[in-house]
Structure 1
Amino acid sequence: MQKTIFITGASSGLGKATAQLFQSQGWNVIATMRNPENETELTALENVSVIGLDVTNKEQLESTIAKVLSETEIHVVVNNAGYGLVGPLEAFTDEQIKKQIETNLMGVIRITKTFTPYFRERKEGVLINITSSFGLMGFPTCSIYSATKFAVDGFSESMGYELAQFGVQVKVVAPGGIQTDFAGRSLDGAQHSAYRQLTEKVQEGYSPDQVSNYSKPEDIAHVIYEAATDGKDQLRYVAGKDANALYNDRNSIGVENHVQKIKSGFLFGEEKKLEVRT
């Protein structure tokens, strides 16, 4: 039986690569994005439906999913839509903070809640939430972004417990850096003079040389495909060499030692370059 995947934030980067990979593997793909009229690559593919969806619009979200479920069986949902808010906390407005939470966290919660009755009644389904290595560990200038990604991680674990009795799996894919235009198209930020030196050091991680070392979106898409199809009762999939290296280092030396290591790189002039992960 040909299966169908529903993906949010599929207009570019990881979302688009995921849609293309599943399509190449014989899946039906419902690729959602805020501006479907601008999409040309996915619309040219067989068995791919491109539809408009803004995860911050509750009414549109619910009506769109209701229409999709009335027409199509959905087997996997990937919550990928999101963006990064980068800068010191003091520099952000309430509106910026609310927008970050509304997109990265409330969007995931709303999508999950809307699909949950459907999967529960079918007693099957996989919900995959895309977080970040910054959803497993904090990093300077990423406080609100990390807050949303940590929240999605905890939300996913909790929902995994709730839905296990119904045969529904909830999984998390936590990528490190990805070679996309995330640092341009999908970043919002603000500056504060008191944090200028810190911000400049963090921004080194977004240089072209650094980005060239990140994972390709296609590589992370394969991890998402693995999570969707391996049948394992596994919650977290840390994706990318950089993310795994940081996560393994954190686990091997302990959380507190890892925190001190990060702090020392910024506070005490340690020469070792600290790489930014998104």
Structure 2
Amino acid sequence: MSKTVLITGASSGIGEATARRLALEGYKVYAAARRVDRMKSLSDAGIQVLPLDLTDDASIVQAVEAIAQREGRLDALINNAGYGSYGSLEDVPLDEGRRQFEVNVFGLARLIQLCLPMMRAQRSGTIVNITSIGGKMHEPLGSWYHATKFAVEGLSDCLRMELAPFGIDVVVVEPGGIRTEWAGIAQEGMLRYSGHTAYAEQAAMHARLFAASDKSSMVSPPDVVAKTISRALRASRPRTRYATGGGARTILFLRRWLSDRAFDGLMRRIEKSLAGA
């Protein structure tokens, strides 16, 4: 019997690459995203496509109910959907900060709540939360985004202990630099909020960093993360965390051993170097 997997944020990037890889490996894949029109190629490949808006509770309920009715089980939930809201804390409106948490944290948590009854009933399952190296390190103008990723790291640790008695694994995947639409979206928001304020110089420098890093040889294709997710799902006892792609392990190693001030300085040097300042 094929295992059933739900992947969020599957209209592009890591989500799309993961949906394709797992389908080729024999999983019954449900690919979910707001932009259903962008998932036609997935549907043509035999992947089940679902509309899902993580800011709309009714949409989340409908997606999970569809899988429960069609399959009666769920073997893995891959929480990939999310975006990066950048700009200085002073400039970004609180409504945007709330939306960042709604998508990256509360939508993820609500989806887990609704999927868990199926997993507990079958006494098995894997929840894969895609965070980021941003859940363990920091940079200027990224306070809302990093706050959400730190939150999902902590949520995942608590959840792992809660669900162990039911045979359900919780895995965190921490990508580094990945070549997706993420950088462009983050850059656009950062310049919109802070490009003409007291933080304009920092915003311009960080925008150049995003543009430069997206072309860097250190940035990995999305399938690197898809392979990591596949490895975690196949493991009889998966690791609690997988750092993958785009210099993730190196950056997390440096963050572990450098003091806060030393890491601040390192990030500033990287920023200036990549931005050509």
Q: Is the TM-score greater than 0.5?
A: yes
The 10-residue stretch of structure 1 (224-233 or 150-159) with the greater mean CA deviation from structure 2: 224-233
1:212 aligns with 2:216: yes
Structure 2: stretches of 5+ with no match in the other structure: none
Equivalenced residues, count: 269
1:250 aligns with 2:255: yes
- 1:205 corresponds to which letter in structure 2? L
1:3 aligns with 2:3: yes
Q: Return the TM-score normalized by structure 1.
A: 0.90
Q: Pick closer, same or farther for the CA change 1:41–1:186 going to 2, 3 Å.
A: farther
Divergent runs of 4+, >4 A: 270-276
TM-fit CA distance, 1:199: 2.1
TM-fit CA distance, 1:233: 4.2
Structure 1: stretches of 5+ with no match in the other structure: none
- 2:234 corresponds to which letter in structure 1? T
After the TM superposition, which residues 13-162 of structure 1 pair with which residues of structure 2 at under 5 Å, given as runs? 13-46=13-46, 48-72=47-71, 73-162=73-162
In structure 1, the residue matched to 2:206 is 202
TM-fit CA distance, 1:185: 4.3
Percent identity over the alignment?
A: 32
- 1:127 corresponds to which letter in structure 2? I
TM-fit CA distance, 1:211: 3.2
Alignment check: 8 A CA contact 2:133 2:176 kept: yes
Q: Pick closer, same or farther for the CA change 1:5–1:209 going to 2, 3 Å.
A: same
- 1:67 corresponds to which letter in structure 2? A
The 10-residue stretch of structure 1 (227-236 or 93-102) with the greater mean CA deviation from structure 2: 227-236
Alignment check: 8 A CA contact 2:60 2:111 kept: yes
TM-fit CA distance, 1:140: 1.2
Task: Choose the corresponding residue for 2:233, options 228, 239, 258.
Answer: 228
Q: Return the TM-score normalized by structure 2.
A: 0.90
Q: Pick closer, same or farther for the CA change 1:199–1:262 going to 2, 3 Å.
A: farther
TM-fit CA distance, 1:61: 0.8
Alignment check: 8 A CA contact 1:5 1:30 kept: yes
RMSD of Structure 2 on Structure 1 (CA) = 2.0
Q: Distance in 1 between matches of 2:93 and 2:271?
A: 33
TM-fit CA distance, 1:265: 4.8
Output one character per residue of 1:240-261: Cα deviation in whole Å (capped at 9) or x when no partner. 141111001122x24xx2x212
In structure 2, the residue matched to 1:193 is 197
